[in-house]
A and B are shown apart, each in its own frame.
Chain A
Amino acid sequence: MTSTPIKQTVRVSVNGKPYTAEVPTYRTLVDFLRYDLGLTGTKETCSVGVCGACTVILDGKMVSSCLTLAVRADGAEIGTIEGVANGDQLHPVQQAFIDNGGFQCGACTPGQIMAAKTLLEENAHPTEDEIKQFMMGNLCRCTGYYQIIDSIKAAAEQK
C-alpha cells in the first residue's frame, strides 16, 4: 500500500438507506460496510470467498463482500443482515434459526441467514438436497449443519 492511496467516492444504498464515503480503491466491500459505514453485522472470516460469512446481496445477487471492491459497488443497492429484521420483528428465517439451534457461536450466522433467505426467495419449498446444494458455500465451524438445515426447513414451512 502506498502512503497516498487513490481514493474514490462510493455512493450506495444499504438496506434502502443512502450512504456516501470516500475510500481507497483497494477497500473491499466488507471493510467498507464494517469500518466506513459502521455496519458490523457482516462478518469477515476466511477472506478468500470460501466460508460465506461475508455474504451480502449486491444489486439482487448474493455475493462475497470480501471478493468485491467497494468502488465496484458504487451506485449499487446492497442488502446486509442489518436489513433483514423489520424493526424489533425478526424475519421468519432469523426466528427459525433461534428456535432450531441454527444460531450457535454466531460468526457464520449473518452469512447463513443471508444465504437461507436468498434460497427461500428463489425456491420457497426446497428439498433437503436443494438446501444442502445451495447452502454448501456457508461454512459453520461449530458444525451445526443439521440444525441449520432444520432451521431452513422450519422457515420454509411457515411460508
Chain B
Amino acid sequence: MNDFAFHTPSSLKEAAELLAQYDGDARVMSGGTALMLLLKQSLVNPDHIISLHRVPEARSIEVSDGVLHIGGLVTQREMELSPVVREATPLLANAYSRVATVRIRNAATVGGGLAQADPAMDPPSSLLVLNASVKVTSASGERIIPIADWYSDYYETTINEDEIVTELLVPVQPTDMAWTYIKYLPRTEDDYATVSVAALGKAENGKISEVRVGLGAVSSTALRASDLEAALLGADASFDVLKDASQAVADIVDPTSDPRGSADYKRDMSVVFARRALQQVLNVEG
C-alpha cells in the first residue's frame, strides 16, 4: 500500500470540507471492505483517506411519508436485520442479507456499496425495481439522484469526487405485490452471484397487472428489464407466456466470461432465472 494521511472527521460537514480541500487526492473510507482491496493492489493511491467511522450522522433508518430513509453509514448487517427495513422493503432486506458473509456485512456500509458499484453486487437489482434514489452531500450542498441514473459503468457512478453518499431513499414496497430475489450460486454460498434477479409482481384474474424485473451480474451495471415488463403487462400469467417473454432478457444482457461462468452460460442463465423469478412472483407453476 502507498503512503497516505489518515483523517478522522467527527461530522459530515468536516468530512465534506476535507474532501473538497484535497480535491481529487482523497478517498472516503466507510467499512473499508472494498477500498482496502483497491489500496492493497495499488488500484487507487490517494494521498488522503478520510475515514467516516467517527461521523455520528447518516446512521439512522426510518420511514416517513411512505419512504424508507437509510443513512449512508448504516451497515449492510443492519439492513439485513433491521425490523424497519424488513417491514418496509422485505426485498431489500433479503438482498442485503445475501451480501458476502456476516463479517463483511458487519463492516460494509450502504453508502460504500453504492459508491463501489460492482455490477455483481446483490443490492443493485432490488434498488432498481424498488425505484430507490441516492442522496449525496458535498461542502456546497446536496442532491438526490434516481437509482436509474446512478450506476454508469463497471464500478462507476454519477457521483462527483467531492460528494459523499449520505442517504438511500426507498419507497415502501407495495404490499400487494409478491417479491423475490434469486442469487444463482453454482460455486459456493459466499460467492458473488453468477446471475441475480430481483422481481416484484402481481396477477389479477389470471392476467399480469404489475411486474418489475431487475438483473444483476450480467452487464456493466445492474439492469431493469423494462421491455420485458412492458410486454408482460396485461398478458396471461401462464408458464408459456413467461417462458417466451423471458427470452427478451438475452438481448439486453452483456455478460463477461469469468470463473463464475462463460458469457454464453450467463446469458442463458439470465433467461432461465428471469423466468423462474417471474413464476415465483406471479405464482405460476412450471
Hey, which bits of chain A sit against chain B, CB under 8 A? 1-2, 5-6, 8, 24-26, 28, 47-50, 52, 55, 61-64, 66-69, 71-72, 74, 115, 132, 134, 136-137
Contacts and interface: CB of A to CB of B under 8 A. Distances in A.
Contacts of B32: 67-69, 72
B101 A137 contact: yes
Given A52-B101, A137-B100, A25 B36 contact: no
Interface of B: 1-6, 8, 29, 32-33, 36-37, 39-40, 49, 51, 53, 100-104, 106-107, 189-190
Interface centre among B2, B6, B39, B49 (most CB of A within 10 A): B6
A112 B124 CA distance: 31
B37 A2 contact: no
B49 to A, nearest CB: 7
Nearest to A114: B103
A2 B103 contact: no
A25 B37 contact: no
Given A26-B39, A68-B32, A136-B190, A61 B107 contact: yes
A57 to B, nearest CB: 10
A135 to B, nearest CB: 9
Query: Top 10 A-B pairs ranked by shortest CB distance?
Result: A137-B101, A26-B1, A25-B6, A67-B36, A2-B3, A61-B106, A71-B6, A137-B103, A63-B107, A136-B190
A48 B3 contact: no
Contacts of B3: 1-2, 5-6, 24-26
A62 B49 contact: no
Contact of B36 (A5, A52, A69): A69
